[in-house]
Amino acid sequence: MLCHVVLGTASGAASFSLAVVAGVGCLGQAVMKRSWPLVGLMTVHELLIDAGRLGLAYVSALHPVNALLILLVTFSLSDIKGVCGVFTR
C-alpha cells in the first residue's frame, strides 16, 4: 500500500513537472497540449481515491477508468516525434 502511495505521488509530481517544463522549455506545442490534461487527470485520480475514503464508493469506483485515461494520454505523449529535434524516428 505504501508503494502505491509513493508511486502515485511521484507520478503526479512528474506529470506537473512535465507540464511546466513543456511550457518553459523547447518541448513543443504537442507535448504541452497533452501534458496539462495529464495533470488534470492525475488530480481527478487523487480526488477519486479521496472520495472512497469519504464513503462515496460509487464515485471512487471510477478510479480504474481514470487510470486507463491516464495511460492513454501517457502513451500519446510517448508517440510524439521530433521533440527538440532529438527523438526523431
Tens digit of pLDDT for each residue in 42-57? 999 989 988 988 999 9
Counting the structural domains of the chain, the total is 1
Backbone angles phi, psi at 5, to 5 degrees: -70, -45
How much is the pTM?
A: 0.76
CA pair distance 48, 79, nearest whole angstrom: 28
CA pair distance 35, 30, nearest whole angstrom: 9
pLDDT of the residue at 1: 67
Mean pLDDT taken over the chain: 82
- Other CB atoms within a 10 A radius of the CB of residue 38 amount to 22
Q: Please, what sign has the CA dihedral across residues 35, 69, 42, 13? A: negative
CB proximity list for 36: less than 8 A, separation 6 or greater:
19
